[in-house]
């Protein structure tokens, strides 16, 4: 890991959140990612059953473990950037034209490969994951958090209710607008311009990570990128830290202490 940072572990109830400290830690994270992103599609076993790419060497890796058993139940990686001039280093920049964000003149962090073990459904896992990210954001003066939020499945109609809600309420500000770059996209803001979403059904269809972003005042691209390898569709997602409602900040920081 380049430029590794130190952060004290966060312990809440039965879970512990900590940064990966060794190659074995990172392999454990990659194995959980494989289980969540590859095995769910019924794909044949790959070489050593790990989900990995070149970004892993540049990122920090967060692990959430069950304290009693030591089992890894959640992981994500994050890439700190000193400002928008480094946005081209991000994973997201492979799929979105992020030139508009090059002028963001403050520290940023990209959050990616977020997953929770499919056999663990305790909401406390997501809380401690966000607590760990909140501590990093506060300790390092981060002003924007961004990444790709994924929907499982590549058929647009399966996600139409959620996409219609994103179009109606959560599109990015024009000054940060992500443009199309990937060859295979679904332009939901255009395709669903006349669809009126049912708010309850739409929010129920949102991936949990994206719901968290939106609760913090997050925004998304006007199109989704189709990823046939992982059998997902993802939207670029950003949240400006200063725009997070004070009530939400207090909740996040209460968990982060």
* pLDDT value for 45: 53
* pLDDT value for 227: 93
C-alpha closest to that of 113 among 36, 172, 43, 6: 36
Whether 18 is covered by a domain: the verdict is no
Long-range contacts of 115-118 (CB under 8 A, 24+ apart): 115/32, 115/33, 115/36, 115/37, 115/74, 115/75, 115/76, 116/36, 116/73, 116/74, 116/208, 117/32, 117/35, 117/36, 117/71, 117/72, 117/73, 117/74, 118/35, 118/36, 118/40
Whether 61 is covered by a domain: the verdict is no
Whether 35 is covered by a domain: the verdict is no
Whether 239 is covered by a domain: the verdict is yes
Whether 10 is covered by a domain: the verdict is no
Q: What string of pLDDT tens digits covers the 257 residues of the chain?
A: 455 566 889 998 899 999 999 999 999 999 999 999 988 776 555 557 999 999 999 999 999 999 999 999 999 999 999 999 999 999 999 999 999 999 999 999 999 999 999 999 899 999 999 999 999 999 999 999 999 999 999 999 999 999 999 999 999 999 999 999 999 999 999 999 999 999 999 999 999 889 999 999 999 999 999 999 889 999 999 999 999 999 999 999 998 88
- For the chain, what is the domain count? 1
* pLDDT value for 10: 93
pTM (predicted TM-score) = 0.92
Owning domain of residue 207? 78-256
* pLDDT value for 154: 95
* pLDDT value for 201: 94
Whether 168 is covered by a domain: the verdict is yes
pLDDT digits (tens, 9 = 90+) for 37-70: 988 776 555 557 999 999 999 999 999 999 999 9
**How remote is the C-alpha of 153 from its chain's centroid?**
17
Burial (Cβ within 10 Å: 0-12, 13-18, ≥19) of residue 124: middle
């Amino acid at each position: 890991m380049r430029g590794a940072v130190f952060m004290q572990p966060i312990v809440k109830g039965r879970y512990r959140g900590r940064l990966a400290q060794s190659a074995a830690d990172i392999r454990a994270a990659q194995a959980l990612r494989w289980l969540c992103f590859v095995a769910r599609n019924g794909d044949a076993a790959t070489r050593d059953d790990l989900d990995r790419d070149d970004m892993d060497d540049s990122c920090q890796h967060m692990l959430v473990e069950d304290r009693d058993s030591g089992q890894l139940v959640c992981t994500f990686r994050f890439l700190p950037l000193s400002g928008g001039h480094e946005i081209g280093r991000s994973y997201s920049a492979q799929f979105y034209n992020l030139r508009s964000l090059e002028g963001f003149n403050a520290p940023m962090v990209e959050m990616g490969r977020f997953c929770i073990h499919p056999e663990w459904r305790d909401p406390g896992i997501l809380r401690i994951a966000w607590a760990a990210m909140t501590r990093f954001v506060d300790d390092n003066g981060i002003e924007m958090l961004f990444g790709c939020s994924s929907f499982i499945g590549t058929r647009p109609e399966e996600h139409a209710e959620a996409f219609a809600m994103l179009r109606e309420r959560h599109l990015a500000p024009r000054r940060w607008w992500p443009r199309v770059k990937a060859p295979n996209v679904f332009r939901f803001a255009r395709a669903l311009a006349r669809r009126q979403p049912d708010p309850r059904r739409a929010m129920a269809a949102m991936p949990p990570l994206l719901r968290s972003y939106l609760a913090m005042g997050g925004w998304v691209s006007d199109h989704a990128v189709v990823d046939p390898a992982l059998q997902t569709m993802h939207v670029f997602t950003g949240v400006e830290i200063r725009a997070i409602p004070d009530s939400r900040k207090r909740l996040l920081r209460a968990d982060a202490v």
